[in-house]
Chains A and B, each alone.
Chain A
Amino acid sequence: EIVLTQSPATLSLSPGEGATLSCRASQSVGSSLAWYQQRPGQAPRLLIYDATDRATGIPARFSGSGSGTDFTLTINSLEPDDFAVYYCQQRRHWITFGQGTRLEIK
């Protein structure tokens, strides 16, 4: 099983600031890495797929980078709706998710 480790567990920032979320895989997943946002009471929302491609309707403030085992989700100029939980997910061998990063308002 491919294990994904996200850091930090919680990130406290203010609107307007930038956020950097990390995801490390226990073995290479190539570029088969996605990022999701989940707000309370809602289903996950796909933000980034194939490590760097934004899903339909996702603002350019969200960007993904990395390949192999180390990946980053960057959110520029945080807006109030961005404060949520973010998960990385690999699709190299079936699916596994990271444990999530909670982005909270400072």
Chain B
Amino acid sequence: EVQLVESGGGLVQPGRSLRLSCAASGFTFQNYYIHWVRQAPGKGLEWVSAISWNSASIGYADSVKGRFTITRDDAKNSVYLQMNSLRVEDTAFYYCAKELRGHSDSSPDSWGQGTLVTVSS
């Protein structure tokens, strides 16, 4: 069974940093793109970042470019999102998700349950 478990969320002051983790199991992790998607309370879904199976292709939403960094550790079946210079508007549930097909671009089919990041003074 595919499982994705996010951790690392919490309350942080504006301007500070936080590192989210996504631990994966139940599939061949090193073959898949992994995405981070966020959702502010009561709002819609916003794509944040993605990393390809070989880390050769990495993308960020304009809203986080230059502040967030995505990495993966295939030995630990994990993806990380380093979030620096956090803003109040970064407050959201952060989900990690794997793509439907390995070694190709496809839509995410499995999602974690999310971790809440609250940026407030």
Contacts and interface: CB of A to CB of B under 8 A. Distances in A.
B35 A95 contact: yes
Contact of B111 (A34, A43, A97): A43
Interface size class of A (residues with CB under 8 A): 20 to 34
B55 to A, nearest CB: 16
Name the prevailing secondary structure of the A interface residues: loop
Interface size class of B (residues with CB under 8 A): 20 to 34
Nearest to B4: A43
B62 A97 contact: no
Name the prevailing secondary structure of the B interface residues: strand
B9 interface: no
Contacts of B112: 43
Interface string B37-66: 100000011110010000000010010000
A97 B44 contact: yes
B45 A97 contact: yes
B108 A46 contact: yes
Interface of B: 35, 37, 44-47, 50, 59, 62, 95, 100, 105-109, 111-114
Interface of A: 1, 32, 34, 36, 38, 43-46, 49-50, 55-56, 87, 89, 91, 94-100
17 contacts: A1-B62, A34-B107, A44-B37, A44-B45, A45-B111, A46-B107, A46-B109, A49-B106, A56-B109, A89-B45, A91-B105, A91-B107, A95-B35, A95-B47, A95-B108, A98-B44, A99-B44
